[in-house]
Amino acid sequence: MPPVPGQRAAPGIVIGGRYALRTAIGHGGMGTVWRASDTLLRRDVAVKEVILPPNLAPSDRDSMYQRTLREARAAAALSHPSVVQVYDVVTEAGRPWIVMELLQARSLAEMIVEDGPLAARAVAKIGIALLGALEVAHAAGVLHRDVKPANVLISGDGRCVLTDFGVARMPTDSELTTPGMVLGSPHFISPERAIGAKFGPPSDLFSLGVTLYTAVEGRPPFDKRDPFETMRAVVEEPPAQAMRAGPLAGVLYGLLEKDPSRRWNVETARAVLRDLMAGPLASNAPAHMTDPYAVVRPTHQPTVVTPQQPTGQIGGRAMMAPGETVSGALRRMHSAPAQAGPAHADAELERTDASRFSAGALGADWTQAPPPPPKGNVAQQFVERAKRAPTAAKIAVAAGVAVVLIAAVAFSGLFSGENETPQSERPIGTSSSGPAKPSFEVEAFTHPGGITVNVPKGWTKKQQGNASAPYFDITDPSDSNRRIRVNIEKASSTPKAFLESAEKRLQTTASSCAPPYARANMDEDKLDGHDGAVLEYTCGTGDQQRHALWNAIVVGGKAYHFFVTVPETRFQESRAIFDEMVRSFKLSGGPSGQ
């Protein structure tokens, strides 16, 4: 018996004359995912029933149905083991039903919440799988536009699948996207999409970087009090310092590059991940044990222990409360008053069966009229304007995904620097209050050209170069692989251009940087009140990989710069050295540095 138009389906109903619904395995605000039997081919499938709110205008209802059909067309056009397979699309009772392969799986978001952060090796495997899925999608002209942990499924056999192309865009479907609007969850939107700029495949790769960062760290790299503050952080702030990623950090920061033209592409990210899998992230299992190319942990291995956090919270303030389950979070969001706190922007299917099956989910909308370009303090007005949004704007929790549809402010100041809120005056990854004073002993070091800076006490200092243009190497006497260099040289460019030129030398000079060179981040900064730039990068692979931070300012035709370079395994403990050098740096010759 087919369903009645306007009513929800029930077990026993047959869709399209062949798909018999059996059990509802997931519910959300926009519909239900059913376990069903394909009576023609005699196999189990997943059927997504789409039910829209009854108060939607007819035009909005038609647009949403078109988007659902578009999701099916986008996914059906792709063939890859890491893309959920679409079998059929059926129009029944006046609405679309999507028939997909049935996966016994948990979402990556669910794994993070329930099991804690994943091991770096598992995250590297997930990254390789999802890069393959995006490569195929982008080659077919399909943008996913909502890559996030809730849309990544991990099957019991270790297969990793990207699902929910509900906000994907085929080139011929551009008319379904309102100009000036962006789609996606605020934690995972790329900077260019957050400001309404033109975007393409690099935008999906940024979202992938956020997803992998969240998987290995247990929290997103940009997480603030509410979705609007979070989007501002995505555009303006560096990602939070990775504490658990280890050698994976370089890939994460490469994908999280704010400038799309410099963001790592599929080939670069995949090559480095494969090198890591063969080197620092190689399996340490005994020789007699197999290490299948699967993401899930074998049952005999213990759960990864979540690093101690003061609040016990996993996922950040805008994601999940301490000890809260996925279904509990949904109930809290549905019942809590608006002033109780920020809304969770990533809901999942509530579990209704002992196992989790999923075939993707349909996104819901959050809409408001586009505001005019703000003046003055751009970032602050962006946040204030968003907080004054009409009360009709809302976050709707969908079956597996809450999609934020936000009017974007189409202004260029956030990237150009004009009328821009100044960058935080601190090195990448430090707290908003600035670098803390170090826990190790320091002593002042003075370069005769006009730099005074604190360095670890007792480290060996050696003058290099010639008397007219000296530079100084300062080395840990107990570990010659930990080094500092302080230098001054002629320069007529900006600090960022100076570091980009230095970066080219690193890429082409094996004696300075063993290949492969990989940029982790490049950002503008302040140093002793002067505009500067910071470059973070890695060199080499395996046990020989090095990690470095390089800071530079250009004043009076001279570049004043220093870097800290250490083995990858000692980068986290050595970062405090760099932070102290930033904190203590002074141009001893006055404002001009001369």
Q: Catalytic pick from 60, 88, 146, 543?
A: 146
Q: What is the DSSP letter of 113?
A: H
- What are the CA-CA distances from residue 357 to residues 37, 81, 84, 116, 345 (Å)? 14, 17, 12, 21, 22
Which residue do the tokens 């690099």 mark?
202
* Cβ 424 vs Cβ 558: under 8 Å: no
Q: What is the DSSP letter of 449?
A: T
Within 13 Å of residue 499, how many CA atoms lie on the same side as its CB?
A: 25
Cα 159 from Cα 103, distance rounded (Å)? 10
* Cβ 160 vs Cβ 295: under 8 Å: yes
Write out the DSSP string of 144-186: ----SGGGEEEETTS-EEE---TT-B-GGGGGGS-TTEEEE-G
What six digits make up the tokens of 465?
């170069």
Cα 380 from Cα 109, distance rounded (Å)? 31
Neighbour tally for 81: CB within 10 Å: 12
Cα 394 from Cα 364, distance rounded (Å)? 10
- What are the CA-CA distances from residue 20 to residues 39, 97, 240, 473 (Å)? 7, 12, 48, 73
Q: Determine whether 528 is exposed, middle or buried from the number of CB atoms within 10 Å of its CB (0-12, 13-18, 19+).
A: buried
SS3 assignment, position 75 = helix
Cα 291 from Cα 79, distance rounded (Å)? 26
Q: Could you confirm whether 204 is annotated as catalytic? A: no
Peptide bond into 307 cis (omega under 30): no
Of 310, 42, 272, 65, the residue nearest 176 (C-alpha): 65
Q: Please indicate if the annotation marks 258 as binding a ligand.
A: no
The CB-based long-range contact list for 41-45 (8 Å cut-off, 24+ gap) reads 44/102, 45/19, 45/87, 45/99, 45/100, 45/101, 45/102
The separation between the first and the last C-alpha atoms of the chain, rounded to the nearest angstrom, is 87
Q: What is the DSSP letter of 246?
A: G
Cα 579 from Cα 577, distance rounded (Å)? 5
Give the orientation angle of helix 201-217 with respect to helix 108-115, to 10 degrees: 20
Active site residues: 146
Annotated binding site for ATP: 48
Which residues belong to the annotated binding site? 48
